[in-house]
Structure 1
Amino acid sequence: MAMSFFDQFASPFYLGVPLMAIAIVLPWVLYPAPSTRWVNNRLTTIQSWLINRFTSQLMMPLNTGGHKWALLLTSLMVFLVTINLLGLLPYTFTPTTQLSMNMGFAVPLWLATVIIGMRNQPTVALGHLLPEGTPILLIPVLIIIETISLFIRPLALGVRLTANLTAGHLLIQLIATAVFVLLPMMPTVAILTATVLFLLTLLEVAVAMIQAYVFVLLLSLYLQDNV
């Protein structure tokens, strides 16, 4: 019985086709395409305003060289928010609960920021491994520690997103199961538990958006150190 709670995190297949591919492609269909009219409808206007506000805030700490990443980071933010929120619907699959997919996003983007730093300003990029004014005896130890912290960044990005979404989905399923079990025996307790479930669902909606924002924000901070 305990293993059935983890069935929702297994990547489903239908006729040998991984449904994760469909879950990744489908969110882009849900957004309206920009029109050529002078005045757009309300949905397109709100969508454009939110994207512009997020992009301007994300690019504010970066210099001109980092503004080339605006389209990539904004698209990643919209994509992660969409699939995180769609994963909260019943009978759906959340691709971001798979560590392999999150690491597939985190490792190449992190590596790109490191390569840019090494190419454009190698002295500054290598200087991050050794703080200024370090005693001579501590130099080897600090270089090893900073190198480990550098290479652990993509792992932290992927694990953070996976762990938060997985824990939230498990809590929702556990409390929902408790509601169905308690309903015929103790209706009052079941109603109170359902209230907790509703509040937890609202919290998970916030977590789905916040974790997508944190993922992109940390990538922009890594980029800021290398441009």
Structure 2
Amino acid sequence: MILNFFDQFATPLILGFPLALIAMLLPTLILSQTPRVMPNRMLMAQQWFMAVLTKQLMLPINKPGHSWTLPLLALFTYLLLMNLLGLLPYTFTPTTQLALNLGLAVPLWLMTILTGLRHQPTMSLAHLLPMGTPTPLIPALIIIETISLFIRPIALGVRLTANLTAGHLLMQLISTAVLALLHVFPSVSLLTLIILILLTALEMAVALIQAFVFVLLLTLYLQENV
């Protein structure tokens, strides 16, 4: 029995070993497949989805940034599978942990910044000061733009964590209401169960959208530096 609704977001342990590591390895185990001479329908659907996703992500990026296609696709697939696997019963969602999301966001954001400083340092530094800025406002704007630049990875991690945590917590609350009303008001409990099923479908969409938004924002940051 869960005494605290937030206990579901605590990292489970068995003999002192964190099961979050196993949960983080599950997506790689699911994607690992044996080579096939002729692809089946599942592989063809996966290839079609990846082609559409690649077109959407790489469309606004200049040609030098296309070398990031494979890492961004791998990141999207990894986040999507971790988000979806967390919706299964008796599972743990690693992406509800802020430490993991920041561990993904900060290095990738830093790579985009270092890429810009390496290939076009003048343009990268020019983003800190908009054109036509009055001279008295230059110091203040540089400070504001620098702060907003360093807030980006925090916003990436917090957005993913907050959306998934809120959805899982709401599902936990509604499922508790279903069990509590089952013997008192069966009709109300059935209605609440229908709401829970609809919310589960919504959470599956949120898992997809949040993975896409995470990668899309990285592509936008990359576009400014290539």
Give the TM-score band, short-chain normalised.
over 0.9
170-179 vs 46-55, which moves further: 46-55
Shift of 1:22: 0.7
CA distance in 2, matches of 1:130, 1:21: 42
Structure 1 letter corresponding to 2:85? L
| 3-state SS of paired residue (1:25) | helix
Shift of 1:36: 4.7
Shift of 1:31: 2.4
Tell me which residue corresponds to 2:11. Answer: 11
Check 1:2–1:35 CA distance in 2 against 1; reply closer, same or farther (3 A cut): closer
What does 1:34-45 align with in structure 2 at a 5 Å threshold?
35-37=35-37, 39-45=38-44
Residue deviations 1:130-162 (CA, integer Å, cap 9, x gap):
100011111111111100000000000000000
Which ranges of 4 or more aligned residues in structure 1 deviate by more than 6 Å?
none
Structure 2 letter corresponding to 1:148? I
- Cα RMSD (Å) of the superposition? 1.4
CA distance in 2, matches of 1:150, 1:2: 40
Contact in 2 for aligned 1:96/1:102 (Cα 8 Å): yes
CA distance in 2, matches of 1:49, 1:118: 35
Alignment identity in percent? Answer: 62
Shift of 1:27: 1.3
Shift of 1:4: 1.6
Tell me which residue corresponds to 1:154. Answer: 153
Tell me which residue corresponds to 1:20. Answer: 20
| 3-state SS of paired residue (1:152) | helix
Check 1:86–1:192 CA distance in 2 against 1; reply closer, same or farther (3 A cut): same
Tell me which residue corresponds to 2:56. Answer: 57
Contact in 2 for aligned 1:32/1:44 (Cα 8 Å): no
Q: How many residues align?
A: 226
| 3-state SS of paired residue (1:56) | helix
| 3-state SS of paired residue (1:141) | helix
Shift of 1:198: 1.1
Shift of 1:2: 8.6
CA distance in 2, matches of 1:130, 1:139: 7
Structure 2 letter corresponding to 1:191? L
Contact in 1 for aligned 2:65/2:223 (Cα 8 Å): yes
Structure 2 letter corresponding to 1:134? T
TM-score w.r.t. length of structure 2: 0.96
What does 1:1-227 align with in structure 2 at a 5 Å threshold?
4-31=4-31, 33=33, 35-37=35-37, 39-227=38-226
| Uncovered stretches (5+) of structure 2, i.e. residues with no partner | none
Shift of 1:199: 1.1
CA distance in 2, matches of 1:127, 1:2: 52
| 3-state SS of paired residue (1:162) | helix
Structure 1 letter corresponding to 2:138? I
Check 1:23–1:111 CA distance in 2 against 1; reply closer, same or farther (3 A cut): same
Residue deviations 1:65-95 (CA, integer Å, cap 9, x gap):
1111111000000000001001001110000
TM-score w.r.t. length of structure 1: 0.96
CA distance in 2, matches of 1:205, 1:5: 20
